[in-house]
Amino acid sequence: MATKNTPKKIKKPTQKSPAKAADRVAELRAQVSYHNERYHTDDSPEIPDIEYDMLVRELEGLEAEYPQLVTADSPTQQVGNVGSVAFAPVEHELKMMSLDNAFNRQELDGWASRIAKGLDLDDAAAPVGYVCELKIDGVACSLRYENGVLVQAATRGNGSVGEDITANVRGIDVIPEKLKGKPPKVVEVRGEIYLPIDTFNALNDAQEAAGLARYANPRNTAAGSLRQKDPRVTASRGLAFWSYQLGVVEGGPVLDGHNAALDWLAKLGMPVNPERRRVDTIDDVVDFTDHWLEQRHDLAYEIDGAVVKVDGLQRQQALGSTAKAPRWAIAYKFPPEERTTTLLDIQVSIGRTGKATPFAVLEPVFVGGSTVQMATLHNDDQVRLKDVHPGDTVIVRKAGDVIPEVLRPVLAERPKRLKKWKFPTDCPACAKPLVRPEGEAHTFCVNPACPAQQQGKIEHFTSRGGMDIEGMGESRVALFIEQGFVSDVGDIYTVDWGEVAALEGFGQTSIDNLRSAIEASKDRPLSNLLVGLGIRHLGPAGAGLLAQNFGHIDAVAAASAEEMAAVDGVGPTIAASVAEYFSRPEAAELVEKFRAAGVNLVGPEQSSAPQVLAGMSIVVSGSLDGYTRDGAAEAITSRGGKNPGSVSKKTTALVVGAEPGASKVTKAEAAGVPIIDEAAFEALLADGSLPEAT
Ligand code: IVH
């Protein structure tokens, strides 16, 4: 997480010489722009939000002190990100503003005073009428409904121009295609797309089962999910939405304030967060923020603060906005929760690739909604950078509010003569020397027979994303390795069950169950076997493509990296990694073990269907009698066609079943795309022909 761009200490912006101030401003701008890119473009922030906010604060402070240093391209003058190139631009008729932040009570009071002054009220404690809302940690989105039908969804982008994410947003279940009640001619609903915590955790479990890297936090995963080129991927992610603001409205009812606007949105069927509270004074606001500061982890989604808005529409108008944010609203940002605990030990774990990862063993501590007793320390450099010694009191928090992280030691509490931790020279599992390759941050156990590596590999092989062998969990794998029954994944199929029966704790029933689970795994698709091998970079999608295109494990093993990369959807990194894997003698040995055991090595039937839809793009909407959604997609793609989730000018035909999406039909009509029924779809599948236009 820490990089050379991470500010060590936030300097106070006071009385610098103009030359020094200019230097610092340039430095801060570079840092803020760099972190903007990491956050908005890569969806992969390197520093916690609070550190980013402090950099922006310092920059704003210096620019206020030295107005001559303000430039139009300063990050303080822009809203959010610059947008990525993948999606079509959408100009916001009404700018999507950002919010100013308050980080403590004093700053909140300062805002209340400015409100009171702006409204000519006696004092900051006077009743103003505020709406308190949760600040949902996700991705801002504007949804445009025309005559009650969703026609466009856009990200905020730079506030003036966002990205068209309509096709992806249509896959979010809680966002209605059609509004209820009496919808106006036009209404733009602004709100936050987010990933519920449970869904995030399930997604990460699946990543782990497939041997892929875990996602960092729900917010960035939500952003990444929205940027998918294939709307079906977005739809599979389980995103959700809370509405919190009106944009353009034409033909709606007369509303006197924000609270009434949210009530109206709820009536139209939009999801509106139930935790909002309409209060009178700033003291009531503080009750709300105090409450949620304590209870934030009881929610099913992440919040990073509260948003307070002046309720009355006339009052909002009187207060107005700056170029970037309304004066009538403020984001009260919660500090990330931090706790101190004792670092009991630093240990090293060996992963299935041999990577030796140091981790902190902590006195259990409750932080960020759960008890933490372990936290990764990533590698040797990180341990040194953090300067933590076993025995230290350390500060712990959840990075992105999810992943436990040791921040630093409390030096004032460091016992005298505490020893520095040294990275072990030998593998804790096999006692062979550990190796840190030149120029690499990580250290590895390079002994292929290392039991910890084998344990990781076998667990991965038997996991759900792999060969899905129920009953072969962590402890049994460990036992079988210890007993010498298995030393690689191929041995699972030649276990001597007589020897297992002699072990304590193995009844005939559990042996029978395990044997039949292993037997059943022999029939798994080739893609599961490929995933189960734990080849670096190869996930289920890539494995599926290789299985489909090469048809047999021998053909995959014999293919060159170039041949694999020629498969649409298999990138050069995956191809090179798979080719390297199969060049190893142990890979060939494994394949022979699988062959001898009768494990399925054949890919799905090469499509025998004639490729009558090659070059065509067929969209399906509504339910068909003879096909499930996946079945229709399969019927199209197996004939060489494409099956995108949305209609465009390039669409060959739109197939409509019962209750098709109104917007797809509208779009198809507008673009002159033929709209066909299920019978015509059958004919299309048979010979690639479309009915003649009538
Ligand atoms: S109101 C003109 N309300 O926070 C006011 N924003 O830091 C527009 N956010 O861009 C925003 N929860 O993405 C508003 N209840 C809420 C919010 C909220 C989360 C996000 C939103 C905004 C950002 C500003």
User: What's the CATH code of the domain at 485?
Assistant: 1.10.150.20
Rounded distance between C-alpha atoms, residue 588 and residue 164, angstroms: 48
Nearest alpha-carbon partner for 106 in 278, 286, 276: 286
With respect to residue 673, please indicate whether it lies within any of the assigned structural domains.
yes
How many domains, the chain?
Answer: 5
How many other C-beta atoms can be found within 10 angstroms of the C-beta atom of residue 665? 17
Q: Are both 312 and 349 inside the same structural domain?
A: no
Confidence class for position 75, pLDDT limits 50, 70, 90: confident
- Specify whether 275 is located in the same domain as 155: yes
User: Of the candidates 562, 597, 632, which is a domain's last residue?
Assistant: 597
Residue in 328, 271, 339 with CA at minimum distance from that of residue 301: 271
CA atoms of 638 and 694, how far apart (whole Å): 29
Domain match, 143 and 291 both: yes
Q: How far apart are CA 56 and CA 33, in angstroms?
A: 10
pLDDT digits (tens, 9 = 90+) for 34-49: 887 777 666 666 676 7
- In the chain, the amino acid numbered 200 is F
On whether residue 222 sits in a domain, the answer given is: yes
Q: Which helix (H) or strand (E) holds 458?
A: helix 451-462
A 10 A CB-CB count for 241 gives 25
Nearest alpha carbon, ligand 1 atom 17: 135
Which residue has the least CA distance to atom 2 on ligand 1?
97
382 and 493 in a single domain? The answer is no
Q: Indicate the residue type of 49.
A: D
Q: Is 693 helix (H, G, I), strand (E, B) or coil?
A: coil
Nearest C-alpha to atom 12 of ligand 1 is from which residue? 135
- Looking at the structure, tell me whether residues 136 and 281 fall in a common domain: yes
- Give me the residues paired with residue 396 across strands: 339, 406
Neighbouring CB atoms inside 10 A of 176's CB total: 19
Residue 97 CA to ligand 1 center (angstroms) comes to 8
Residue 610 placed within a domain: no
- Domain CATH code at residue 382: 2.40.50.140
Taking CA atoms only, the protein residue closest to ligand 1 atom 7 is 99
Helix (H) or strand (E) holding 36: helix 18-36
pLDDT digits (tens, 9 = 90+) for 247-280: 999 999 999 999 999 999 999 999 999 999 999 9
3 state DSSP class of 237: coil
Going from the Cα of 99 to the center of ligand 1, the distance in angstroms, rounded, reads 7
Q: Quick one: 142 and 255 in the same domain? A: yes
User: Would 342 be classed as within a structural domain?
Assistant: yes
Q: Examine the domain organization and report whether 509 and 570 are in the same domain.
A: yes
Do 70 and 130 belong together in one domain? no
> Does 280 share its domain with 372?
no
Report the chain's mean pLDDT, rounded to a whole number.
Answer: 89
| Residue 69 lies in domain | 18-77
**6 occurs within a structural domain:** no
CATH number at residue 205: 3.30.470.30
Q: Are 171 and 274 contained in the same domain?
A: yes
Same-domain pairing of 241 and 183: yes
Please report, for the domain that includes residue 62, its CATH number.
Answer: 1.10.287.610
- The CA distance from 357 to 29, in Å, is 35
**What distance in angstroms lies between residue 309's CA and the mean position of ligand 1's atoms?**
10
Which of 309, 333, 357 is the endpoint of a domain?
Answer: 333
pTM (two decimals)? 0.54
The widest CA-to-CA distance across the chain, in whole angstroms, is 90
Among 244, 270, 321, which is best to mutate for testing ligand 1, by the most ligand atoms less than 8 A from CB? 244
Q: Are residues 165 and 260 in the same domain?
A: yes
Looking at the domain assignment, is residue 631 inside a domain? yes
Ramachandran region, residue 121 (left: φ > 0; alpha: ψ -120 to 50; beta: rest): beta
Phi, psi of 273 (to 5 degrees): -60, 130
Average pLDDT over residues 610-614: 79
What residues are labeled active site? Answer: 135
Last residue of a domain, one of 77, 97, 127: 77
Q: State whether the Cα torsion 579-583-588-589 is positive or negative.
A: negative
Distance 125 CA to ligand 1 centre (A): 24
Tell me the per-residue pLDDT of 292-335, one tens digit each, with 9 for 90 and over.
998 998 899 999 999 999 999 999 999 999 988 999 999 999 88
Residue 83 lies in a domain: no
Q: Are 490 and 593 in contact (CB under 8 A)?
A: yes
Domain assignment of residue 441, yes or no: no
CA distances in angstroms from 601 to 66, 257, 462, 663, listed in the order given = 70, 65, 16, 44
In this prediction, residue 672 carries a pLDDT of 87
